[in-house]
Structure 1
């Protein structure tokens, strides 16, 4: 049932949307609905030393594993899109047991395959977040508990410190008590065939990924420490094996001043593959006997955000990923390491309006020793509503 003045509430909601108010709210019965989001334009000039990145996500934002290696250099490319634009709805409902349940659902168009650049540039929305919270419980899809959002840099790129960062959204059940969190999350295993080849995504796991995390927040910033245990599995007509994966993450944000901060992350483990660097390495490789062997990888990133005045700010970002491949198992064409440097200059024209430019240099090396470079200049405009 609606509130006593549903029409007035709906009109208020519509007017708030037209005026661009962040998280405008309206009440329907026992439920309060809020919404918000942003519109963002990204334009990118990209030059790669060893070939061209195919049309797709590697042209829309930085994906470490897609930097070409061993090809012929081509002309630079220019791309523009508004696919990162997003919107969300949140609800808070008073229940008849005296408690409250909250819900969040958010969409963007960033990585959907539908659409092209010929005529309409239409792209399908995809779910980013869809979860509920009740008491100390979270249930649904959101950031992995193994990830620390606070350590992500202030970047125009979709992620910013991609090489060494944990970046995963997935369905989960999470329990929080003070600074402690325990979660059971949707599993998935990515595998490198013996001696190399196309990635195998198995979908054969029988138990969830388990994450335990501790968060500490203080006036000076925040720290997060997390550990994860995983089952890595493959089952087919010719292969049937399971092994274990383990990983740890330490990350944080230190406030140098009221406007400046340092953000960092260090992540390492065996079988950490799909969690780090946008799956730049797989979780495991198949050995000569058809058994799975977890792949060790370590990523790290550091960013410093500095405000020049109340309108202008910059971030200086370094990120890297090192992978411990066994050449006899993976072959020589797999990614062995990636790294990137980035610096930006952002102008906050108003509280809800931002313009910025970012320069990035990235390098990818494969196990044979061959490497390729990426240079990118990105301009962005963003309106928060």
Structure 2
């Protein structure tokens, strides 16, 4: 082979090798770039899915909150007001009884526990020490489970309008406020609330030949509508009250009632609150009659007609004037009227009235104190009237400790 031909083949081979090397280099770089992109993508996914906290073997407790208040009341009565700790006009004894009394107690102190986050499923348990008239015994205030719009357990009735509850130092509040606590299940949306609650009828039988009985839950529906300066709420109740006689016989009566309540901010510092209610067998839901005083006035067992529901009506009007940033002047007036019936006992309740004038200072987010002048009145079916004025001082310290499961 000549030198010329050798040179030609060498040149061809060299050119082919260089071209192949260049092609291989391009392919390798492309593969590296592809692998780098895939690696970047995997890193991004790992970063997105990674836990925000480093792994731990410690037990993760659910979020919870401990809340409550320590409250001390000093009360002076110039007449017999029935109960020393609370102003409940239906318990005022008949006659003009001049009986001075001073009471110092802390029964309105409360303690509660919420387990779970407030925006998710959670349970609430709260107590105070009003379980006894003569001493300090625990009383369950709330014990329920709530998730979203669903609530089940023991607590305030769904007929209650908490946003329209007026400000008083008397821990009982207005006589005609809808207040009963009972077991139930409710669904509460933005505007509509529907609930089924324990019937718990309270019936007066003068001969004590029967006991109260219920065979279906109370049905409650309420609609709330907010407006620019407050809200308006309408609640409807249908229930069946009944009695069971000693021989095993039963008698039932159907009853329906309604509540209209709301608030109105007249100015930035003055707010009006009101509630009005009317219907049969409503007594059980009234603050003044649920478990106190004449607490058996849902219905009456008449000698000739048997069980009949009693008609009741009530309401209150309140005003709250925050004349300084930390000072509020509040006034409340309320009344309950039961139907007039000659067959009812003469000493049974016909009407009660309630009034308070309060001056309260909110020292900070936790501490408040104030003074209150209060008045209670009771009329019987026979026309007898009894009254009870009261002076009350209060000091309250509120607290809450929240523990999140993320900490």
TM interval, short-chain normalised: 0.7 to 0.9
Secondary structure class of the residue paired with 1:100: coil
Contact 2:241 2:253 in 1 (8 A): yes
The match for 2:113 is 89
The match for 1:36 is 67
Contact 1:36 1:87 in 2 (8 A): yes
* The one of 226, 240, 256 aligned to 1:246: 256
Correspondence 1:102 to 2:130? no
- Residue range with higher mean Cα deviation, 38-47 or 344-353: 344-353
The match for 2:230 is 221
Q: TM-score, normalised by structure 2?
A: 0.78
Describe the superposition over 1:12-32 as per-residue Cα deviations: whole angstroms up to 9, x where unpaired.
xxxxxxxxxxxxxxxx72621
Give runs of aligned pairs for residues 1-385 of structure 1, distance below 5 A.
4=56, 29=60, 31-48=62-79, 52-53=80-81, 58-70=83-95, 73-92=97-116, 100-110=120-130, 112-113=131-132, 116=135, 123-162=136-175, 164-194=176-206, 202-238=211-247, 240-279=250-289, 280=294, 282-289=297-304, 291-328=306-343, 330-385=344-399
Contact 2:210 2:244 in 1 (8 A): no
Secondary structure class of the residue paired with 2:284: helix
Structure 1 distance, partners of 2:150, 2:217, is 17
Paired residues, number: 339
More helix by proportion, 1 or 2?
2
More strand by proportion, 1 or 2?
1
Structure 2 distance, partners of 1:355, 1:283, is 37
Contact 2:355 2:376 in 1 (8 A): yes
Please report the RMSD computed on the Cα atoms of aligned residues, expressed in angstroms.
2.3
Describe the superposition over 1:140-188 as per-residue Cα deviations: whole angstroms up to 9, x where unpaired.
11210111111111110113222x2111111111012321011000111
Q: TM-score, normalised by structure 1?
A: 0.83
Structure 1 residues 155, 339: closer, same or farther in 2, change over 3 A? Answer: same
Contact 1:183 1:211 in 2 (8 A): yes
Structure 2 distance, partners of 1:149, 1:172, is 17
Secondary structure class of the residue paired with 2:90: helix
